[in-house]
Chains A and B, each alone.
Chain A
Amino acid sequence: MSAELKTFAALLARDVRVLRRNFGQFLTRTIMQPLLFVFVFAYVFPKIGQGFHGGPRGVSFTTVLVPGLIAVAINFQGIQAVALPLVQEFSVSKEIEDRVLAPVPVWAVGLEKIVAGAMQSLIAAGVVFPIVYLVHAHGAAPSVHVHDPALFAFALLFSSLLAAALGLFIGTVLDPRKVTLLFAVVVLPLTFLGCVYYPWADLTPILWLKVLVLFNPLVYMTEGLRTSLTPELPHMAIWASMLALLGGSLALALVSLHTFTRRVVT
């Protein structure tokens, strides 16, 4: 292994060590939101006979939710795992000053952060999947099948990379004093307007919204997963979501590595 790759692997090993130490915390922050969501909307609502009797075209609402909530977990984890520690490291702890002295080009330190973040997003997807699949009232089971494993793997992988690259970008441009606004201004709008609770195709009656949400990366994550998990639901064309995930990951990775390097080398 070349010296640079060894350093890269060691940086990853450090992040894995920290993740293992804080795994309880990781699980809690990953599980709570989707668990409560499916509990209320897939279990409580059907039980008390309130709202959401099936999604579009007779498909249960839980079927709409499964890919959506997995995508939210991926997106949330990518931002959380990369952006928040980075904002800390730039402002309070200054740890980043030492990390960029690792003997690799500065961009490689940023790339490692994207890879580590994507890894956490993938783990989050794995943790959330059984929860959103299994928690529901009798008769409200989601209809989910991995029709095309390669397509599913591609969507998962590039959704995770996209989320982590977004995290790196936010972490390098966000003013540390405004970090409390991250959830209100970024995470919540992305989530609620990310075609999580409704397929993108069904937005046609609100055409301006249908066009506007195309700027939201989460839309491509949910639609990509929907394509591979619940193809009976209307979804964006395969080529469109997959191209957006692939191109978006690469473009955002390049941009965020640039902003990262600019930030640490003055």
Chain B
Amino acid sequence: MRKVYGSLVAVDGLELEVGRGEFFGLLGPNGAGKSTTIGMLTTTVFPTGGRAFVSGLDVRRQAAEVKRQIGVVSQANTLDRALTVWENLYYHGRFFGVSRAKASLRADELLEQFALTERADAMVLQLSGGLAQRLMIARALVHEPQVLFLDEPTSGIDPQTRINLWRILRDLQEQGQTTLLTTHYMEEADALCERIAIIDHGKALAVGSPAELKQRHGDETLLTVTVEGDTTRLAERAERLDGVTAVEREGATVRVRTTASGGVLAQLMQAAGELGLPVRDATSLPPSLETVFLNLTGREYRE
């Protein structure tokens, strides 16, 4: 798929396939094209080029049919302010052709499942951010969609609420709900997704399970040692150590990338001692999705 806004290429030939029942993550920095991709798959962004199918339906030519198959939780709070919590679920079901009795039942069930029953008659403006987020997810499930889209569902909410939401999302995953999640939280993708695509500048840089990605792209451990004094000679010594692939100096800090599983940090500290440099700080960041992500997308600051 491809989407161009004027001179900005938001999505640049992205190719993806998500299987039925899969919990799939789109991971990327801000502006990578995640939301535009979700927009095209959910028919609110018209693709400039390429094709995409949801449940075998063409998102360009069969937009209304595609909408019937999907549930969407967008980044913004799009709850209906003029309706109560219960009515938000009930009328959503009605929009999707669910009968009165069934919509009413689904609304009750989902309020129960998402621990919102007590707030059933509240107007949505009275809900806290976390409760509103829960209600948005519940609403997207009323009509039992084939595919659930979650666009950064946990950005800007507090850690307790996030952990609570993860529990809900994990339940969905266990129930076999096909889900496409976007996030820029590495630990979220790691905790929830069966497969992940790391995307940047509108392209998929890597696709695979979290374990595969770590093995393929994150096999380097990042060590940092901060000392008092000149780091020139320490950096020279670091370069000669076994398994070291890159050394950077920045002020009083030496950054070392290594594929060796252990011992390099100890050797570095020893070298610093031999050079008479008191060590202020030393850290070791083992392979993680974070290192995969940073290896693939670079370190420069994104707006």
**Which A residues have a C-beta under 8 Å from some C-beta of B?**
3-4, 6-7, 10-11, 13-14, 17-18, 21-22, 93-98, 100-106, 264-266
Q: Could you tell me if A265 and B43 are in contact, using CB atoms closer than 8 angstroms?
A: yes
Q: Could you tell me if B91 and A14 are in contact, using CB atoms closer than 8 angstroms?
A: yes
Q: List 15 A-B contacts (CB under 8 A).
A: A13-B91, A13-B94, A18-B82, A93-B77, A94-B77, A95-B80, A95-B81, A96-B78, A98-B74, A101-B72, A102-B67, A105-B63, A106-B63, A265-B43, A266-B39
Contacts of B96 in A (CB 8 A): 7, 102-103
* Closest chain A residue to B63, Cβ basis: A105
Contacts of B97 in A (CB 8 A): 3, 6-7, 10, 103
Contacts of A14 in B (CB 8 A): 80, 83, 91, 94-95
Q: Could you tell me if A103 and B68 are in contact, using CB atoms closer than 8 angstroms?
A: yes
Q: Could you tell me if A266 and B44 are in contact, using CB atoms closer than 8 angstroms?
A: yes
Considering only residues 66-94 of chain B, those with a C-beta below 8 Å from chain A are 67-68, 70, 72, 74, 76-83, 87, 91, 94
B131 within 8 A of A: no
The listed residue with most B CB atoms (<10 A of its CB), out of A95, A96, A101, is A101
B64 within 8 A of A: yes
Q: Could you tell me if A93 and B78 are in contact, using CB atoms closer than 8 angstroms?
A: yes
**Which B residues have a C-beta under 8 Å from some C-beta of A?**
5, 39, 42-46, 63-65, 67-68, 70, 72, 74, 76-83, 87, 91, 94-97, 139
Given contacts A11-B95, A94-B74, contact A18 B67 (CB under 8 A): no
The listed residue with most A CB atoms (<10 A of its CB), out of B45, B74, B97, is B97
Contacts of A106 in B (CB 8 A): 63
A-B contact count (CB 8 A): 80
| Distance (whole angstroms) from the CB of B88 to the closest CB of chain A | 9
Given contacts A98-B139, A101-B67, A101-B70, 11 further A-B contacts (CB under 8 A): A14-B80, A14-B91, A97-B44, A97-B76, A98-B79, A101-B43, A102-B95, A265-B44, A266-B5, A266-B44, A266-B45
Contacts of A22 in B (CB 8 A): 82
Given contacts A94-B74, A105-B63, contact A21 B82 (CB under 8 A): yes
Q: Could you tell me if B44 and A101 are in contact, using CB atoms closer than 8 angstroms?
A: yes
In the assembled complex, the Cα of A103 lies from the Cα of B92 at a distance in Å of: 11
Q: Could you tell me if B64 and A4 are in contact, using CB atoms closer than 8 angstroms?
A: yes
* Closest chain A residue to B72, Cβ basis: A101
Given contacts A17-B83, A265-B45, contact A10 B91 (CB under 8 A): yes
In the assembled complex, the Cα of A14 lies from the Cα of B46 at a distance in Å of: 28
| Distance (whole angstroms) from the CB of A237 to the closest CB of chain B | 43
Contacts of A266 in B (CB 8 A): 5, 39, 44-46
In the assembled complex, the Cα of A93 lies from the Cα of B76 at a distance in Å of: 8
Contacts of A94 in B (CB 8 A): 74, 76-78
Q: Could you tell me if B95 and A103 are in contact, using CB atoms closer than 8 angstroms?
A: yes
Picked from B42, B45, B46, the residue with its CB within 8 Å of the CB of A101 is B42
